[in-house]
C-alpha cells in the first residue's frame, strides 16, 4: 500500500476532473490525502475515501508572505504525512508543493493544467513566476502537460528539464457525459458558455458578440453557467435584464445544461485543455472555440466545431453567424462526430493509466 498526497487549489476541479483517479487509487488499497481549501466539494472527496487536510491557497494573490506560509505548510504536511508520492495540480501547488517535495526529498508528479495569466502576460510577474516554476519542477519525477504548446514552452525555456508526458487534458468521463440526442429543431438556438466569469475566458468579447447577434437573430439564446471570478455583477445584471443573456451562476451539474443546448461557446485566451469543450463534445454538441492551444485540439474545424480568433469580437460574431446558418442535419452531425473524437482521443481512462504507470514506478511495478 502506498500513501499518496494530492495538492490542489480548489475542490471543484479535483472532484469533477480527477475523481476517477482518486477512486482507482483508493480501490487499489492506497491511502489518499487531499490538501486544498475548504469548500462544498470537500465532503464529496471525503465520501470517496480521501483524508482531508485543510490548506489555504490564495489562488490569484501575489502576496509573498502568504506564499511563504503556503510553502511552510506544505513542508510540515509532507513531514507529518510522509507520503510515498505527491501529486500536484495548478500553479501554486506545482511551485510551492514542488519546492517542499525537493526540500523533504519526496517523489512527486506535476500536472501543468495551463500557463495561466501570470505566465501569458509578459512583465515582472511572469519573470518571477517562471523562476519559481523552475524551482518547483526541478526534482519532479514527471511533468504532465495538457497540450504540446505548453510543453514546448516549458522545455524551450528550461523550466521542465526532466521527463515530460503529454496527456489529453483531464480526459472526459464518457459514462457521465453520455451522448444525448440533438435538440429536435434549431429554430430557437441555445448557445452555452460554461466557465469562470473573467476576462481571460473571453467574457467581454462574448458580451459584445451576444448583443450583436441578438440584434440580428432575436430568437437566439445565450446561457452562461459559472461563478463570477471577477466583478462583472453589474454587466451580468444589465445584460440579463435586457434579455441578451441568461445567467445561471455556478452549477454543480453542467451536463443538464449541455444536453439542452445546440452548442458551446468558449472565447478563452488560453487553456491547458478546456474540460467544458470535452464535456460538450462527449454529449454530442458542437464546439465554437477560440483558436488557442488547449481549445484547438478539442475539435476538428468544420467537422466537429468552428474556430475563431481570440480577443476578436468580429471573428466571434462571424463564427456564431456561420453556425446559425448551418443546416440542421450538419449541426447534428457535428455533435455525433465530436462524440466519436472524444471516444478515440479523450477518454479519461487514458489519463488515469498514465498516472498509474508513473506512480507504479515508485513501487517498482505498475499499479
Q: Is the pLDDT of residue 51 over 80?
A: yes
Contact in structure between 131 and 119 (CB atoms under 8 Å): no
pLDDT of 54 strictly over 80: yes
Whether 96 and 233 map to the same domain: the answer is no
Q: In what helix (H) or strand (E) does residue 133 lie, and over which residues does it extend?
A: helix 124-137
Please check whether residue 178 lies inside any domain of the structure: no
Same domain, 226 and 263: yes
Domain with 239 in it = 190-345
Instruction: Specify if 312 maps to a domain.
Output: yes
Helix (H), strand (E) at residue 292: none
User: Could you tell me the maximum CA-CA distance found in the chain, to the nearest angstrom?
Assistant: 63
Whether 53 maps to a domain, the answer reads: yes
Same domain? 298 vs 162: no
pTM: 0.92
Strand order in the sheet with 263-266: 246-247, 221-225, 190-194, 263-266, 287-290, 305-308
Is residue 29 domain-shared with residue 76, that is, in the same domain? yes
Mean pLDDT of 27-53: 97
For residue 205, give the CATH number of its domain. Answer: 3.40.50.2000
- What's the pLDDT band for 60 if we cut at 50, 70, 90? confident
Handedness of CA 70, 76, 79, 82 (dihedral sign): negative
Q: Are residues 64 and 212 in the same domain?
A: no
Contact 28, 3 (CB under 8 A): no
CA angle 85, 89, 95 (to 5 degrees): 85
Domain assignment present for 51: yes
Whether residue 225 contacts residue 257, with contact meaning beta carbons closer than 8 Å, is answered with yes
Same domain, 335 and 358: no
Other C-beta atoms lying within 10 Å of the C-beta of residue 131: 12
* For residue 366, pLDDT beyond 60: no
CA distance 42 to 40: 6
Task: Copy the grid coordinates of residue 215.
Answer: 440584434
User: Does the residue 129 lie in any domain?
Assistant: yes
The answer to whether residues 353 and 339 belong to one domain is: no
Query: pLDDT digit string (tens) for 199-239?
Result: 999 999 999 999 999 999 999 999 999 998 888 999 999 99
Domain annotation covers residue 291: yes
Rounded average pLDDT over 180-184: 96
Cell numbers describing residue 39: 469548500
Residue 125 has a pLDDT of 81
Burial code (b: 16+ CB inside 10 Å, e: under 16) for 41-54 equals: bbebbeebebeebe
142 and 79 both lie in a single domain: yes
The verdict on 158 and 252 lying in the same domain is no
Residues in the chain: 367
C-alpha cell at 179: 451522448
Q: Are residues 353 and 207 in the same domain?
A: no
Rounded Cα distance, 146 and 17, in Å: 13
Model pLDDT for residues 120-135, shown as the tens digit of each residue: 777 788 888 899 999 9
Q: How many CA atoms lie within 13 A of 335 on its CB side?
A: 24
Q: Please check whether residue 170 is in contact with residue 348, taking contact to mean a CB–CB distance below 8 angstroms.
A: yes
Strand partners for 108: 86
pLDDT at 102: 97
Indicate the Cα dihedral angle 305, 222, 267, 169, nearest 10°: -60
Confidence check: pLDDT of 367 > 50:
no
The mean pLDDT of 29-45, rounded to a whole number, is 97
Q: Is residue 222 part of a domain?
A: yes
Question: What is the count of structural domains for the chain?
Answer: 2
Whether residue 311 is found in the same domain as residue 337: yes
199 and 57 together in one domain: no
pLDDT-derived band at 363, boundaries 50, 70, 90 = confident
Residue 182 belongs to a domain: no
Amino acid at each position: 500500500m502506498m500513501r499518496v498526497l494530492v495538492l490542489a487549489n480548489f475542490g471543484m476541479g479535483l472532484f469533477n476532473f480527477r475523481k476517477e483517479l482518486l477512486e482507482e487509487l483508493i480501490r487499489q488499497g492506497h491511502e489518499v490525502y487531499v490538501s486544498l481549501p475548504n469548500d462544498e466539494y470537500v465532503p464529496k472527496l471525503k465520501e470517496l475515501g480521501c483524508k482531508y487536510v485543510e490548506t489555504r491557497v490564495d489562488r490569484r494573490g501575489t502576496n509573498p508572505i502568504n506564499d511563504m506560509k503556503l510553502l511552510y505548510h506544505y513542508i510540515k504536511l509532507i513531514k507529518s504525512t510522509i507520503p510515498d508520492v505527491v501529486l500536484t495540480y495548478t500553479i501554486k501547488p506545482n511551485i510551492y508543493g514542488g519546492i517542499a517535495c525537493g526540500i523533504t526529498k519526496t517523489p512527486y508528479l506535476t500536472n501543468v493544467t495551463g500557463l495561466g495569466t501570470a505566465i501569458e502576460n509578459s512583465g515582472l510577474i511572469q519573470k518571477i513566476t517562471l523562476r519559481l516554476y523552475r524551482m518547483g519542477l526541478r526534482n519532479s519525477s514527471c511533468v504532465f502537460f495538457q497540450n504540446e504548446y505548453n510543453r514546448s514552452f516549458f522545455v524551450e525555456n528550461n523550466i521542465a528539464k526532466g521527463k515530460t508526458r503529454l496527456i489529453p487534458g483531464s480526459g472526459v468521463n464518457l459514462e457521465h457525459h453520455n451522448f444525448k440526442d440533438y435538440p429536435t429543431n434549431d429554430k430557437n438556438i441555445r448557445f452555452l458558455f460554461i466557465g469562470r466569469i473573467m476576462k481571460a475566458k473571453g467574457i467581454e468579447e462574448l458580451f459584445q458578440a451576444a448583443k450583436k447577434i441578438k440584434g440580428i437573430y432575436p430568437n437566439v439564446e445565450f446561457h452562461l453557467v459559472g461563478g463570477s471570478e471577477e466583478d462583472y455583477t453589474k454587466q451580468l445584471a444589465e445584460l440579463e435584464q435586457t434579455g441578451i443573456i441568461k445567467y445561471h451562476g455556478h452549477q454543480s451539474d453542467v451536463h443538464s445544461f449541455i444536453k439542452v443546448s445546440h452548442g458551446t461557446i468558449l472565447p478563452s485566451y488560453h487553456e491547458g485543455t478546456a474540460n467544458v469543450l470535452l464535456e460538450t463534445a462527449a454529449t454530442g454538441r458542437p464546439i465554437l472555440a477560440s483558436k488557442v492551444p488547449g481549445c484547438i485540439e478539442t475539435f476538428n474545424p468544420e467537422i466537429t466545431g468552428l474556430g475563431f480568433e481570440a480577443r476578436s469580437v468580429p471573428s466571434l460574431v462571424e463564427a456564431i453567424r456561420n453556425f446559425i446558418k448551418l443546416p440542421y442535419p450538419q449541426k447534428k452531425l457535428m455533435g455525433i462526430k465530436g462524440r466519436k473524437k472524444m471516444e478515440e482521443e479523450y477518454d479519461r481512462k487514458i489519463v488515469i493509466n498514465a498516472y498509474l504507470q508513473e506512480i507504479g514506478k515508485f513501487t517498482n511495478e505498475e499499479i
